[in-house]
Amino acid sequence: QLYAYADSALDIRLNPLFRQAFVAVDSPTNRQWVSQTYVGLIAEGKFHDRVTFRAQHFEAREWSDQAATSIDDVWSSPVETVQLKGKTVDFRESRYLFRMQLPWFDLEGGKQAFDWGPGRNANLTLDRAGPSYVYGRFTASHKALSFDHLFALLRTSREEDLAFGTTTTSNGHRRTLPAPKRL
C-alpha cells in the first residue's frame, strides 16, 4: 500500500500496480519468447458507505523475439491504445468505477471489462480478455424483487473492423456486412 487515509467519512487507498510475465511458446510451427511488463496505480475508496470509487491505470510494454505487425500479434490482453514498434509493443489501459448506493436503488457508472459468460442463467458472452468499455447501470430492489438496467458503449479498437464491416462465408458464399452504428 502506497498511501492510505481514513476518517469517519472518507477512506482512500493508493496502491502501486507492478506485474511481470514471461511467455514461452515452443511448437513445431511457432517458437517465440515474450516478456510483458505492467506498471500502474490503483486508487480506491468510499465516502460515508454510500459512495464508492475505483480508478486503475497502467502502462505496459511487451517484448518479443518476433515483430508484431498487427494487434492480433499482441499476447497481452486486454489492451488499449496499442503502438506497434517492431519487436516491442507499448499499450495502456484505464478503468474506473463510481457507485452510489441509496436505500432503494444503486447508480453505477464507469469504464470496466465484464467477464460475462456461461452461468446458471442465460448470460451475454463476451471475450474474457476483452478491453474495458464505458457503461452505466441502474439497480432497483425491494425485498426479493430486483430490476437491473445496463447500458454500454461497446466498440472495436481495430480499424479494419470499422472500415470494412464483417465478412462471413456461408454455404460457399461470401458476404460482407456493413459495420452497425449501434449494438
Q: What is the pLDDT of residue 162?
A: 46
Q: What is the pLDDT of residue 37?
A: 94
Asked whether residue 182 carries a pLDDT value surpassing 80, the answer given is no
Instruction: Calculate what percentage of the chain has a pLDDT beyond 70.
Output: 73
- Give the dihedral of Cα atoms 66, 68, 69, 74; nearest 10 deg: 140
Nearest to 49 by CA among 4, 105, 99, 118: 99
The pTM (predicted TM-score) of the whole model is: 0.70
- CA terminus-to-terminus distance, the chain: 40
Q: Which residue has the higher pLDDT, 75 or 62?
A: 62
Q: What is the mean pLDDT of residues 136-147?
A: 91
Asked whether residue 75 carries a pLDDT value surpassing 70, the answer given is yes
Alpha helices in 26-169 (DSSP H): 159-164
Q: What is the mean pLDDT of residues 92-120?
A: 83
Distance from C-alpha of 118 to C-alpha of 110, rounded to nearest angstrom: 24
Strand partners, 74: none
In Å, how far are 21, 40, 49, 107 from 43, measured between CA atoms?
A: 23, 10, 17, 20
Instruction: Calculate what percentage of the chain has a pLDDT beyond 90.
Output: 43
Q: Report pLDDT digits (tens) over 28-37.
A: 887 889 999 9
Q: Could you tell me the three cell numbers for 43?
A: 486508487
